[in-house]
Every structure is written in C-alpha cells, then in structure tokens.
C-alpha cells in the first residue's frame, strides 16, 4: 500500500499518518520529521534546513528528492508506506513518479485532507509535540489538562518554532502558491480523493480507511 497524505499545514497529516501506519503495518515517512531530526542532530542538512523551516519556506526540491530517493531505495519501506509532507511541489511529484517507476511500484491513493483556514490556524497555535516520542498533541485535549510532560512517555512537550502565528501565515501562503498545483497533478491522474479533516481524529481516520477500502 502506497499512500500520499496531502493537505495544508495543520490539517492533521502527522496525526493520521501515525494511526494509519500502526493500523496498516506500513512505514510513516514524514519529510518534516526527518528535517527536524537533522536540525536536532546538527547534521549538514539540518544546518542548511533550519532557517528555511523556521521562516516557513520550502527546502529545495533537489535536497528533498534526494532524501526520498535514499529512504525508498533502502528497502525499509518494502511493505508499503505513507508519505506525509512529500511531494510539495510539482517537480517533487514528477520526481516521485520517476522514482516509483524505477522501483516498479505505484501510488495507490492520494488523500487530500481539507480544512477551513481559520481552524488550521487554531489547531497549529495550540499544537504541542513530544521531544522524545514525537507524539502530536493539542492543548485543547482533555488528556493534557495542565501537563507539561508527554502522557505517553514523560518527554518534554514543545511548541514548534514554525507554529508562531506569522510563520503559520507564511506556510499557508507558500502552500497555496507552491503546493496546491500538486493537487491538480494527482486529480488529473485519478488518484486523489478529498476527505473532510474537520471531524474528530477518529472520524477522519475512519473516512481515510474507507477510501483505502480498509473499513
């Protein structure tokens, strides 16, 4: 199963990808998580990417395609995978098509999560992520109450640098300009299905599983 989870910042791609990867036994490939890990580890890639991510812009297509090529060629994702945050430009989508062709595999579904911009902004302003296990939370969740530690592993909960209000607006405008054309790229190829991202996490998950024919 090869699934592309598509949609604007804050729509719930990471949240859904984690659940789907567990349920379907496939690998979750998040380019955002990989870049943040590179920043944390202080690698050459991380040093280059940090300022770009923090300003809400996109890392170059060459770098991103190189990262994806390396992951997909490693064999780690042989049973199937979920792409979260890639492709984000038409050149990335084209490069992905060539790469999958080389590997002899095809995309099964592209799920386009949709959500009103005002709700996206609200979700991002109250997002918290665990530094240790990377679980994504929202301050509005009851299970967090006043906790500053991750209920899952006790790790520190932090707010992403790019979730500041001005950076969120920049990310949304970069999405509108550079990423929405990818929607058309996949719609034209009959691969894309819209899914309403405004329900509960469980409701959205069921809707995606239905599209995948897994419910």
Write out the catalytic residue numbers.
13, 88, 127, 160, 171
Residue numbers 8-47 binding Mg ion by CB under 5 A: 14
DSSP collapsed to 3 states, 28-89: EEEHHHHHHHHHHHCCHHHHHHHHHHHCCCCCCHHHHHHHHHHHHHCCCCCCCEEEECCCCC
Contact status: 123 vs ligand AP5 (CB under 6 A): yes
Select from 6, 81, 86, 185 the one that contacts ligand AP5 (CB under 6 A). Answer: 86
For ligand AP5, which is the closer residue by CB, 24 or 28? 28
Select from 15, 29, 38, 107 the one that contacts ligand AP5 (CB under 6 A). Answer: 15
Residue 70's Cα: distance from chain center in Å?
18
- The residues, ordered by sequence, that sit 6+ positions from 11 with a Cβ below 8 Å of its Cβ are 113, 114, 115, 120, 197
Give strand ranges (E) for the chain. 2-6, 27-30, 81-84, 109-114, 127-130, 136-138, 157-158, 192-196
Least separation in angstroms between CB 196 and Mg ion: 18
Select from 4, 6, 12, 93 the one that contacts ligand AP5 (CB under 6 A). Answer: 12
Binding-residue pattern over the window 40 to 79 for ligand AP5, x denoting contact by CB under 6 A: ------------xx--xxxx----x---------------
Per CB under 6 A, the segment of 102-110, 146-154, 183-191, 197-205 that binds ligand AP5 is: 197-205
Strands of the sheet with 157-158, listed across from one edge: 136-138, 127-130, 157-158
- Cα separation, 72 vs 29, in Å, equals 9
Select from 90, 100, 105, 136 the one that contacts ligand AP5 (CB under 6 A). Answer: 136
Tokens of 4: 């592309």
Select from 97, 125, 138, 159 the one that contacts ligand AP5 (CB under 6 A). Answer: 138
Per CB under 6 A, the segment of 37-45, 104-112, 135-143, 186-194 that binds ligand AP5 is: 135-143
CA angle (185 as vertex; 198, 8 as ends), nearest 5: 30
Residue numbers 143-182 binding ligand AP5 by CB under 6 A: 162, 171
- Cα separation, 39 vs 22, in Å, equals 26
Least separation in angstroms between CB 42 and ligand AP5: 17
- Give me the residues that bind Mg ion (CB under 5 A), please: 14
């Amino acid at each position: 199963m090869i699934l592309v989870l598509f949609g604007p910042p804050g729509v719930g791609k990471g949240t859904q990808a984690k659940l789907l990867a567990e349920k379907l036994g496939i690998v979750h490939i998040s380019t955002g998580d990989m870049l943040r890990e590179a920043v944390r580890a202080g690698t050459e890639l991380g040093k280059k990417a940090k300022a770009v991510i923090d300003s809400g812009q996109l890392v170059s297509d060459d770098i991103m395609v190189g990262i994806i090529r390396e992951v997909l060629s490693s064999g780690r994702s042989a049973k199937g995978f979920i792409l979260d945050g890639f492709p984000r430009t038409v050149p990335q989508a084209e490069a992905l098509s060539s790469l999958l062709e080389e590997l002899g595999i095809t995309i099964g579904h592209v799920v386009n999560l949709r959500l009103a911009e005002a709700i996206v902004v609200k979700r991002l302003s109250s997002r918290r992520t665990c530094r240790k296990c990377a679980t994504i939370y929202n301050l509005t969740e009851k299970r967090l109450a006043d906790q500053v530690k991750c209920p899952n592993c006790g790790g520190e909960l932090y707010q992403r640098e790019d979730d500041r209000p001005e950076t969120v607006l920049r990310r949304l405008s970069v999405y509108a300009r550079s990423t929405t054309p990818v929607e058309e790229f996949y719609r034209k190829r009959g691969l894309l299905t819209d899914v309403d991202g405004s329900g509960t996490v469980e409701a959205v998950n069921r809707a995606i599983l239905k599209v995948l024919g897994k419910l």
